[in-house]
Amino acid sequence: MAALGDDPELVRIGNCSGFYGDRLSAMREMLEGGQLDVLTGDYLAELTMLILGRDRLKDPNLGYAKTFVRQLEDCMGLALDQGVRIVTNAGGLNPAGLADKLREVAGKLGLHPKIAHVEGDDITARAGELGLGNTLTANAYLGAWGIVECLNAGADIVVTGRVTDASVIVGPAAAHFGWGRTDYDALAGAVVAGHIIECGPQATGGNFAFFTEIPDLTRPGFPIAEIRRDGSSVITKHTGTGGAVTVDTVSAQLMYEIQGARYAGPDVTTRLDTITVTQQDTDRVLVSGVTGEAPPPQLKVSLNTLGGFRNEMEFIVTGLDIEAKAALARHQLDAGLTVRPAEIEWTLARLDRPDADTEETASALLRCVVRDSDPKKVGRAFSATAVELALASYPGFTFTAPPGDGAPYGVFTAGYVDAAAVPHIAVLPDGTRAEIPPASETLALADVPEPALPQAFPAGPTTRAPLGRVALARSGDKGGNANIGVWVRTDDEFRWLVGALTVDQLKVLLPEAAKLTVHRHVLPNLRAVNFIIEGLLGQGVAYQARFDPQAKGLGEWLRARYLDIPTEFLA
């Protein structure tokens, strides 16, 4: 056991990165803004692993988040002076390489931090034998115990590869309190705290549906989890920073990129239906009551492959007869292609409006996307054919961008392997390699039966209005699937919501989902329903099946749709 702060009953963990490319100054802001015991950073997403995979193809010494190195060049001395431990997954595909780079940086700065790393998640070389196919990257989601081992060995800085996003928070909490591997409720509470703060200012008002309620979003502060011995936590931020921490900003992040009521991880399966969220004070939200179960016997694996090559041309269509003009362009391009790509997708975005007072608002966008395994079929053979129509097509013909060659695109899929088949190794500051065994107690993942729904809200006067007048939402991606979490603020509104926003109603409101499989999960403690829309995003973010490939705006589209809402809710 290694205490990470002065208070044996509490550990104060801040986060300074929610993605690769987040605010560069956030590490210094967090270190200078107030007291911390641990500072974490989440740099990895499904798309990031593909980006790092391409980096590694160009240079085998790369494969980690280079911005993290820049942050530590600036802040390593500050963190050491304050005794703040740093834990991050910025190692990406090359945690050992990042650890070596940080030692090089420390030497140049005249500093002597104890640096450790966690490895074993990269199973790319064994993907075929494990039944995962031929991949560019294959990384199993490891848990928190390698991080615990490194911290217990005195590491000041711990870098990992692909661990679950919450693991960089769970590890320090488990090390501080000396939790065991079957302390499921405490571990689950830390997972929830980690899930809330892992995306940085999304927990302090960023990307928040009722954003006009947030007093200052100029530069929202990054979040902090004050985790207690029982796994409960208070979510907060440094005093004087922008944004806000409220029940709703915390709930918004809780609803982000989740599936059902069971949230599986390599260390614990967290029951999201047990979470209680309470406003304790200004910018202080208590998260409590979380229960956990044994983890499943398999680990999830992030698989990225090169799916082929893609290109697109976007036509501007202005004024009258939009549909006829678009049909002419489609017919001409289709007839002119001498080499046909394997996939051709057309979309017409009717952004125009009648009698528009600007040319832009009188225009629609006609987009053609092509994909093929042969780059020649989606290169100039495609874009040049589109350009040749410039003087021979509909009136006002023009493009949003010049033609170009096709570019490779990636495909993300999730695989699963037995946990025992994946090494989990903590490389300690002195170079010792400690093997972390898989969980000895596991429980197969199963759906939670839908809870008893509240009594229906009584019929009464209704008004046709946007759902977002009453409800908040947050949406995101998981591979090719999208999730939309929708929640309300009062019990009566929840009684109405669960009856009104069914799967069938969602398909009416979002016609793009009408022919897809949609699942609904009800979370009464959060007054929420969460929808999973299978296949909406094609083969993942890099495939770019929609103009919003990560479904970030999907919840806001839903909130803008009209339905009959009890009039009393709209007062």
Same-domain check for residues 395 and 359: yes
Residue 31 lies in a domain: yes
* Tokens coding 568: 């009393």
Residue 5 lies in a domain: no
Residue 125 lies in a domain: yes
Same-domain check for residues 180 and 36: yes
For 284-293, how does the pLDDT look when each residue is reduced to its tens digit (9 = 90+)? 999 999 999 9
The whole-angstrom separation of Cα 501 and Cα 467 is 10
Residue 114 lies in a domain: yes
Residue 158 lies in a domain: yes
For 451-495, how does the pLDDT look when each residue is reduced to its tens digit (9 = 90+)? 988 999 999 999 999 999 999 999 999 889 999 999 999 999 999
Percent of the chain beyond pLDDT 90? 88
Residue 339 lies in a domain: yes
For 155-186, how does the pLDDT look when each residue is reduced to its tens digit (9 = 90+)? 999 999 999 999 999 999 999 999 999 999 99
Same-domain check for residues 78 and 221: yes
Same-domain check for residues 514 and 484: yes
Same-domain check for residues 161 and 19: yes
The pLDDT value given to residue 2: 63
Mean pLDDT over 255-263 rounds to 92
The whole-angstrom separation of Cα 315 and Cα 326 is 9
Average pLDDT of every residue of the chain:
95
pTM, two decimal places: 0.94
Residue 430 lies in a domain: yes
Nearest to 527 by CA among 557, 497, 559: 497
Residue 451 lies in a domain: no
Same-domain check for residues 70 and 185: yes
| 269-271: strand order across its sheet | 262-263, 269-271, 291-293
Number of domains in the chain: 3
Same-domain check for residues 485 and 566: yes
The pLDDT value given to residue 479: 86
For 235-251, how does the pLDDT look when each residue is reduced to its tens digit (9 = 90+)? 999 999 999 999 999 99
For 411-430, how does the pLDDT look when each residue is reduced to its tens digit (9 = 90+)? 888 999 999 999 999 999 99
What is the dihedral angle through the alpha carbons of 149, 195, 475, 207, rounded to the nearest 10 degrees? -110
The pLDDT value given to residue 266: 97
Report how far apart, in Å, the C-alpha atoms of 399 and of each of 318, 349, 363, 403 are.
11, 14, 12, 9
Residue 112 is part of which domain span?
A: 10-296+414-435
Same-domain check for residues 169 and 204: yes
Same-domain check for residues 219 and 353: no
Same-domain check for residues 292 and 307: no
Same-domain check for residues 275 and 321: no
Q: How confident is the model at residue 1 (pLDDT cuts 50, 70, 90)?
A: low
**SS3 track for 10-21:** EEEEEECCCCCC
The pLDDT value given to residue 27: 98
For the domain that residue 390 is a member of, what is the CATH number?
3.30.70.380
Q: Is the pLDDT of residue 45 over 80?
A: yes
Same-domain check for residues 391 and 341: yes
The pLDDT value given to residue 544: 79
